[in-house]
Amino acid sequence: MLKGIGASEGYGIGKVMLVEEHSLEYTPKVVTDTEAEIKRYKDAVDTFVQQTMEQAEALKSSAGEKEAEIMQGHIAIIMDPFMGGEIEKLVAAGTCAEAAVEQMCDMFIGIFSATDDDLTRQRAADVKDIKTAMLSILLGIKEVKISDAPAGTVLVAKEVTPSMTAGINKENIVGIITETGSQTSHSAILARAMEIPAVLSVPNVLSQLSSGERVIVDGSAGEIITAPTDEQAAEYETKREAFLREKRELELYRGKKTVSASGEEYELCCNIGSPKDAGKAMDSDGEGVGLFRTEFLFMDRTSLPTEDEQFDAYKAAAQILKGKPLIIRTLDIGGDKEIPYLGLEKEENPFMGFRAIRYCLKNRDMFKSQIKAILRASAFGDVRIMFPLITALEELREGKALVEEAKNDLRNSGIAFNENIPVGVMTETAASGVIADLLAKEADFFSIGTNDLTGYTMACDRGNSDVSYLYSPFQPSVLRMIKSIIENGRKNNIPVGMCGEAAANPMMIPLLMSFGLTEFSVSSVSVLKVRKNISKWTKAEADAVAEKVMAMETEKEITEYLSSII
Ligand code: PEP
Ligand code: MG
């Protein structure tokens, strides 16, 4: 048996498909038969063009015309007569095709990356993609195609990236196993959103399993059963059925309000990453969106989305929500969320570095265009703006000033928006927790991001399995932080929600009810479960639990007690 972190509940029994990253290293050769080498290069170009055309076709139906156009652009670059001509000249002079392609691509990447113009810099990312694909073809590396995975497949990869998810067919993938990640890494969030059982952070799992091998993924316990016996397979099949039965029972909570056993009402919203997810949020009976992670609109492409493209996405989400609240978080890049075409420099400490609101306030044109897009969407629903990673009051003030500037621009152009759009703070840093009293006077709402708040309070990287024993929202320090944020929000009459993963934790729910949280924002799949859990507690019971917990001294004591009473 292999152990990891159970990051998406449920049980999957199936056959392993390893998704490995291949090395593109080769030993450059001096070519004597240059004609044959030029032919090898030209054949590789033909294969590249055919592959890319197929990918563009597939993208057209899964992601849309615009993404498909990016792929078609790659064909134009590789067919460019100058580029092709220079590569052929290098080969004719004795350079092998791999080295010639690499040399030319690197030259273009260097030129494009060195400019100040965003669009030109984004071309560098295109050329990088082309280089990787061409070298893979020339080196004869066969990429595993996730979209071709047969029914009953367990995906095993270093990590699940958003681009990989595009290829996942939910019907065929019965489990996910990764080497890295934690409860709150994006691999986990994506697995939960797709309702696929997942076990993450299994050390060296890629070298421990082989393709075709039968395994059981226990996403609830965080275990992988290798070479299962027939008895084990039958036992897990029973567990799987019971799990699915419980899911059906939760349906009783569909269409109901979110109320405690003593009648207090709460708002129960969803976390989303795209307009499509807004549909899922509504299908799951969410009462709105408490967190729209906009960085997914910026990922998996090679250039910044324009103001209009963003407006279309935000407006589409607002329209799907039909007047229900939609909290749009401004770009939260950095840390574990990379956007290659922005060309951000590698940092020693990316989680503490130039990211999120810090990056946005220094890239004002880009930030303003996002804010304008959000403002324009506010004419189509109850749209609200939220800033991530706030650590100082000035950041909130500067962000709000930019919102005012953007409003002015729109007013001057006669474009409609909500003049009273609420602007809130994502309280997810230790600093924002400590100055919650100051922030609450100038923010229209708070949303507690426990994923980062836990990390920043505990000085503990959420993706690092060596320190995961410290990473818990039930640490007394984190609970005090959460309580204080909620109390400061209440004192200043602003609503306080929670959009971190802890909001869906049944052990956390009575504490949050007692502290006075007004909104829970969870992944769509958790909506009914959270509603059921809230309905179990009266306010007085929740207060009694909270009082006991807040007097405890260690995380162990707290979690042992809470797990004994839920
Ligand atoms: C958080 O930090 O709690 C959060 C919800 O944001 P993200 O997971 O996107 O960092
Ligand atoms: Mg965060």
Distance (angstroms) between ligand 1 centre and the Cα of 499 equals 7
Integer angstrom CA distances of residue 523 from 10, 123, 157, 260, 431: 15, 35, 23, 20, 26
User: Is the pLDDT assigned to residue 63 strictly greater than 50?
Assistant: no
What's the CA gap between 415 and 403, in Å, rounded? 15
Give me the catalytic one of 96, 270, 360, 499: 499
Tokens of 414: 């006669």
Collect all residues with Cβ–Cβ distance below 8 Å to 130 and sequence separation of at least 6: 48, 74, 77, 78, 105
451 lines ligand 1 (CB under 6 A): yes
Distance (angstroms) between ligand 2 centre and the Cα of 222 equals 24
Distance (angstroms) between ligand 2 centre and the Cα of 450 equals 8
Q: How many CB atoms lie within 10 A of CB 82?
A: 9
Structure-token match 């505990």, residue found: 458
Query: Is 105 a residue of the active site?
Result: no
Cβ–Cβ < 8 Å for 369, 307 = yes
Please write the tens of the pLDDT for every residue from 98-125: 999 999 999 998 988 887 776 776 677 7
Please write the tens of the pLDDT for every residue from 469-526: 999 999 999 999 999 999 999 999 999 999 999 999 999 999 999 999 999 999 998 9
Integer angstrom CA distances of residue 475 from 292, 479, 507, 545, 556: 27, 6, 13, 16, 8
Query: What is the CB-side half-sphere exposure of residue 420 using CA atoms within 13 A?
Result: 1
Q: Which residue owns the Cα nearest ligand 1 atom 8?
A: 451
Q: What pLDDT is recorded for position 285?
A: 97
Report residue 58's pLDDT band, with 50, 70 and 90 as the boundaries. Answer: low
Smallest CA-to-CA distance from 109 within 141, 77, 146 is with 77
**Phi–psi pair at 484, nearest 5 degrees:** -65, -40
pLDDT greater at residue 25 or residue 293: 293
Distance (angstroms) between ligand 2 centre and the Cα of 342 equals 20
449 lines ligand 1 (CB under 6 A): yes
90 lines ligand 1 (CB under 6 A): no
**H/E/C letters for each residue in 17-60?**
EEECCCCCCCCCCECCCHHHHHHHHHHHHHHHHHHHHHHHHHHH
Report residue 72's pLDDT band, with 50, 70 and 90 as the boundaries. Answer: confident
Q: What pLDDT is recorded for position 303?
A: 93
Collect all residues with Cβ–Cβ distance below 8 Å to 501 and sequence separation of at least 6: 183, 184, 189, 450, 451, 522, 523
User: Is the pLDDT assigned to residue 71 strictly greater than 90?
Assistant: no
Tokens of 73: 């652009």
- Ligand 1 pocket mutation pick from 452, 472, 517 by most atoms within 8 angstroms of CB: 452
Q: Which residue owns the Cα nearest ligand 1 atom 9?
A: 293
- Mean pLDDT of the chain, nearest integer: 92
Q: Which residue owns the Cα nearest ligand 1 atom 1?
A: 449
Q: Which residue owns the Cα nearest ligand 1 atom 3?
A: 449
Cβ–Cβ < 8 Å for 88, 31 = no
> How much helix, strand and coil, in percent to the nearest 5, is found in the chain?
55, 15, 30
Query: Is 186 a residue of the active site?
Result: yes
Lowest mean pLDDT among 129-133, 140-144, 324-328, 556-560: 140-144
Distance (angstroms) between ligand 2 centre and the Cα of 81 equals 46
Please write the tens of the pLDDT for every residue from 515-562: 999 999 999 989 999 999 999 999 999 999 999 999 999 999 999 999
Q: Quote the pTM value.
A: 0.68
